[in-house]
Chain A
Amino acid sequence: MVNVKVNGIPVQVAEGSTMLEAAKKAHVKIPTLCYNPDLSPWAACGICVVKVEGSNKMLRSCCTPVSEGMSIITNDADLVQTRRTVIELILSTHPDDCLFCPRNQSCELQTLAQEFGIREQPYKKMVRDIPTDTSTNSLILNPSKCIRCGRCVEVCQEMQGVWAIEFLGRGESIRIAPAADVKLGDSPCIKCGQCSAHCPVGAIYENDQTSLVWDALMKEGPDAKICAVQIAPAVRVALAESFGLPPGTDLTGKIYTALRRLGFDAVFDTNFSADLTIMEEGTEFVHRLTGALKAGMRQATADRSLPLITSCCPAWVDYMEKYYSDMIPNFSTAKSPQQMMGVMIKTYWAAKAKVDPAKIYSVSIMPCTAKKFENGRDESMYSSGYKDVDVTLTTRELARMIKQAGIDFLNLPDSQPDSPLGPYSGAGVIFGATGGVMEAALRTAYFLVTKEELKDVNFTAVRGLSGIKEATVHINGIELRVAAAHQMGNIATVLEEVRKARAEGRETPWHFIEVMACRGGCIGGGGQPYGATDEVRKLRMRSIYDHDEKSEYRCSHDNPYIKQIYAEFLEKPGSHRSHELLHTHYVEKPLYLK
């Protein structure tokens, strides 16, 4: 430990800590802009400057390590003036259209300008006119608003390992763009949206599609729509943050009520279709495992029937199709919960409720920007005969709709989702956190293999924020090795091991692998409220597991409505009809389209 003083306040921090971390521990706030706790310090902006007592030199606190006995000064007239100048210089290259900006009131630059009381522009305005990139359905890139902090580039390259964007050019012509200035839609971008969740300003943001939903909700007469909506597991533990409540506040019941007040005719829960995904994927896994036990694990590794790799995350699917297309046979063909719900609404529910599926407008509320891309991914996203999910809104967009509608969200009474596509098991809700799909699948796989219920359904080894989590599970004498990886940059390690085992004719190191593109899983998704840090992710995650523990049913196969849907409509998991409606396929994609 190292002893330092921050503005005279003594504090002890671990060796190697930065001045910024020491200040935080002393409850001193140093303003930052390019710094983000998820990323390595990049020291681009210069707002976090501080001094060491006895020297007039200004040091960037985000990247300067402390040393024993150091006395840090974070606040004097000189420092405040320097910070003001930095803000004024950034503002001199930034458009002034705050009122029309998607980040109005959630912009970190705007907040700093407000806190520092910037009232005039002393420098010549030099705003660059770079066209906005709307080539993806998920994300909009507006380089004119970019303040060159580098967060998005670091997120895309370092955290996610995607390398869709980079700083091109230098000096005043520097810009964020994909290689060779191609459009985002032609780049390796996987639409995870982590860039948008980390951007401090309005340079990268989600494609707001709320107007499509308002239109559908307000149509009257012969064109009137029957509006159905589903909400994803991770939305319920994060939406509250957009209304000023602490992260992890679970407002499931109020969300159902708010959706009804917005005008939705049917309110369903993606947790239900997560249960359905588990039935299909769990059955697929047991089928592959049974085959592998007969043919031998090496054979199963060679023919790529094992490991089974989860496919619920559309950003991950896109990544795999681009970078790991040799693993297509390893991919679960089961559709994601969003798409399963979409097709069940327009087939099963439409028939039960006696409504014309052509009149149904199906909306999903997701923590994710890639889900906007998934709903039109290929022809199997139209397996009801219509677009299964018409439009996907992120958590951030839903928050705006609720505010626009004048709904007193926090004081709403709780309500329940509609049946039969609403009631869910705890296994469905944990899909929202990394390791959750694996845990839910294991709960049901155990049952499918042994025909017995687990005594303890909690597989805690696959929970938590470490990048790759491994566990060994014993089912009927079979030693099952599983892994759960999250945050795209961590995935390569796992996949390379599998590739290596296959190339060397060895047995796969794991039988079942779960992958989620975002840190923490969907609770840390690119469409969630701003400001996710590990602290926030842990709180959201805790709330997800609490929700699971409080659930009447903990396993997907115990959900009575799941039993009912198979009895009435789908026959059994993996049936012909299930395959027609609930499964998809994958294709190899070129990284750069010509």
Chain B
Amino acid sequence: MVAGDIEFSNELQSYIDEWSKKEGGLVMMLHRIQNEFGYVPRAAAEKLSLISGIPLAKIYGVITFYHFFKTTKPGKHRIAVCLGTACYLKGGQDLLEETCSILSIEPDEMTDDGLFSVDEVRCLGCCGLAPVLMIDNEVYGKLTKEQLPGIIAKYRSL
């Protein structure tokens, strides 16, 4: 196999060395990879397969099963729109559509200027604030779609 041509930090490398020997370590290692790169680049998945001996197909089975893992590069600001039960019932889908329409992208895509990307997520753990949207680490609750242009504009100038 031609290994993915990608550098892992020493920290990530030693984490993988440790967890690749453990049962059930795949999700842990993928978490770390996503922390380092913001997503799981194909080259990183290939390198992980090579180091750990876990077939690439299995790695992709896991990456694509969990919404958390991304295979595309995120924007500078990551917008997560919650579609968990509570948020969905309170209009999460409308928020998602409005966000995508403002930015002219689809979920899992990045804007041309590299500033924003949109993810659909299942539950951010604050259902009392439904519907919820999170940008980077900031949570916005009890949102209406009318508030969205203002919030997004704030991040353009950051």
Pairwise interchain contact B57-A163, C-beta atoms closer than 8 A: yes
Task: Check A439 for interface membership: any CB of B closer than 8 A.
Answer: no
Chain B 20-55, CB-CB to A under 8 Å as 1, else 0, gives: 000000000000000000000010011000000001
Give the residue of A170, A180, A592 whose beta carbon is less than 8 angstroms from that of B71. Answer: A180
Provided the pairs A157-B57, A163-B56, A163-B57 are in contact, do residues A592 and B1 lie with their beta carbons within 8 angstroms? yes
Pairwise interchain contact A166-B61, C-beta atoms closer than 8 A: yes
Give the residue of A157, A169, A180, A594 whose beta carbon is less than 8 angstroms from that of B55. Answer: A157
Residues of B within 8 A of A168 (CB): 60-61, 64
Instruction: Give 11 CB contacts A-B under 8 Å.
Output: A157-B58, A163-B56, A164-B57, A166-B60, A166-B61, A178-B57, A179-B56, A179-B60, A180-B60, A590-B1, A591-B1
Pairwise interchain contact B2-A592, C-beta atoms closer than 8 A: yes
B61 (CB) vs chain A CBs: closest residue: A166
Provided the pairs A168-B64, A170-B64, A180-B42 are in contact, do residues A591 and B2 lie with their beta carbons within 8 angstroms? yes
Pairwise interchain contact A163-B42, C-beta atoms closer than 8 A: no
Pairwise interchain contact A165-B2, C-beta atoms closer than 8 A: no
Provided the pairs A170-B65, A180-B45, A180-B71 are in contact, do residues A592 and B56 lie with their beta carbons within 8 angstroms? yes
For B1, B45, B56, the residue with the greatest tally of chain A CB atoms inside 10 Å of its CB is B56
B50 (CB) vs chain A CBs: closest residue: A591
For B45, B55, B57, B58, the residue with the greatest tally of chain A CB atoms inside 10 Å of its CB is B57
Pairwise interchain contact B64-A163, C-beta atoms closer than 8 A: no
Query: How far is the CB of A193 from the nearest CB of chain B, in Å?
Result: 18
Task: Check B123 for interface membership: any CB of A closer than 8 A.
Answer: no
Task: Check B135 for interface membership: any CB of A closer than 8 A.
Answer: no
Bound-state CA distance A592–B42 (Å) is 11
Bound-state CA distance A75–B64 (Å) is 39
Interface of B is mostly: helix
Task: Check A167 for interface membership: any CB of B closer than 8 A.
Answer: yes
Bound-state CA distance A464–B90 (Å) is 64
For A165, A179, A590, the residue with the greatest tally of chain B CB atoms inside 10 Å of its CB is A179
Pairwise interchain contact A165-B46, C-beta atoms closer than 8 A: no
A168 (CB) vs chain B CBs: closest residue: B64
Residues of A within 8 A of B61 (CB): 166-168, 179
A593 (CB) vs chain B CBs: closest residue: B2
Residues of A within 8 A of B64 (CB): 168-170
Task: Check B86 for interface membership: any CB of A closer than 8 A.
Answer: no
Task: Check B124 for interface membership: any CB of A closer than 8 A.
Answer: no
Bound-state CA distance A164–B58 (Å) is 10
Query: How far is the CB of A160 from the nearest CB of chain B, in Å?
Result: 12
Give the residue of A165, A169, A170, A594 whose beta carbon is less than 8 angstroms from that of B57. Answer: A165
Bound-state CA distance A287–B60 (Å) is 46
Interface of A is mostly: loop
Bound-state CA distance A168–B59 (Å) is 10
Bound-state CA distance A163–B59 (Å) is 11
Query: How far is the CB of A185 from the nearest CB of chain B, in Å?
Result: 15
Chain B 104-116, CB-CB to A under 8 Å as 1, else 0, gives: 0000000000000
Q: 6 smallest A-B Cβ distances: which pairs?
A: A591-B1, A163-B55, A166-B57, A590-B2, A179-B60, A179-B56
Query: How far is the CB of A489 from the nearest CB of chain B, in Å?
Result: 12
Pairwise interchain contact A163-B71, C-beta atoms closer than 8 A: no
Pairwise interchain contact B58-A166, C-beta atoms closer than 8 A: yes
Residues of A within 8 A of B42 (CB): 180
B56 (CB) vs chain A CBs: closest residue: A179
Interface size on A, residues (CB 8 A): 19
Partner-B contacts on A (CB < 8 A): 157, 163-170, 178-180, 187-188, 322, 590-592, 594
Pairwise interchain contact B2-A169, C-beta atoms closer than 8 A: no
Provided the pairs A180-B42, A591-B2, A594-B2 are in contact, do residues A169 and B59 lie with their beta carbons within 8 angstroms? no
Residues of A within 8 A of B46 (CB): 592
A163 (CB) vs chain B CBs: closest residue: B55
Residues of B within 8 A of A169 (CB): 64-65
Bound-state CA distance A170–B61 (Å) is 9
Query: How far is the CB of B37 from the nearest CB of chain A, in Å?
Result: 15
| Chain B, range 50-83, C-beta contacts under 8 Å to A | 55-61, 64-65, 71
Pairwise interchain contact A180-B2, C-beta atoms closer than 8 A: no
For B42, B58, B64, the residue with the greatest tally of chain A CB atoms inside 10 Å of its CB is B64
With contacts A168-B60, A591-B2 known, what are 13 further pairs, Cβ within 8 A?
A: A157-B57, A163-B55, A163-B57, A166-B57, A167-B61, A169-B65, A170-B64, A179-B45, A179-B59, A180-B42, A180-B71, A322-B1, A590-B2
Residues of B within 8 A of A591 (CB): 1-2, 56
Bound-state CA distance A167–B65 (Å) is 9
Bound-state CA distance A470–B15 (Å) is 42
B1 (CB) vs chain A CBs: closest residue: A591
Query: How far is the CB of B158 from the nearest CB of chain A, in Å?
Result: 33
B66 (CB) vs chain A CBs: closest residue: A170
Residues of A within 8 A of B45 (CB): 179-180
Query: How far is the CB of A64 from the nearest CB of chain B, in Å?
Result: 26
Residues of B within 8 A of A170 (CB): 64-65
Bound-state CA distance A187–B1 (Å) is 11
Query: How far is the CB of A589 from the nearest CB of chain B, in Å?
Result: 9
Bound-state CA distance A295–B1 (Å) is 33
Residues of B within 8 A of A590 (CB): 1-2
Query: How far is the CB of B108 from the nearest CB of chain A, in Å?
Result: 12
Residues of A within 8 A of B56 (CB): 163, 179-180, 591-592
Residues of A within 8 A of B55 (CB): 157, 163, 179
Query: How far is the CB of B140 from the nearest CB of chain A, in Å?
Result: 27
Residues of B within 8 A of A167 (CB): 61
Bound-state CA distance A188–B2 (Å) is 12
Query: How far is the CB of B62 from the nearest CB of chain A, in Å?
Result: 9
Query: How far is the CB of A177 from the nearest CB of chain B, in Å?
Result: 8
Query: How far is the CB of A523 from the nearest CB of chain B, in Å?
Result: 28
Residues of A within 8 A of B59 (CB): 179
Residues of B within 8 A of A592 (CB): 1-2, 46, 56
Residues of B within 8 A of A179 (CB): 45, 55-57, 59-61
Bound-state CA distance A157–B55 (Å) is 9
| Chain B, range 1-30, C-beta contacts under 8 Å to A | 1-2
B60 (CB) vs chain A CBs: closest residue: A179
Bound-state CA distance A178–B61 (Å) is 9
Bound-state CA distance A157–B56 (Å) is 12
A178 (CB) vs chain B CBs: closest residue: B57
Bound-state CA distance A166–B45 (Å) is 15
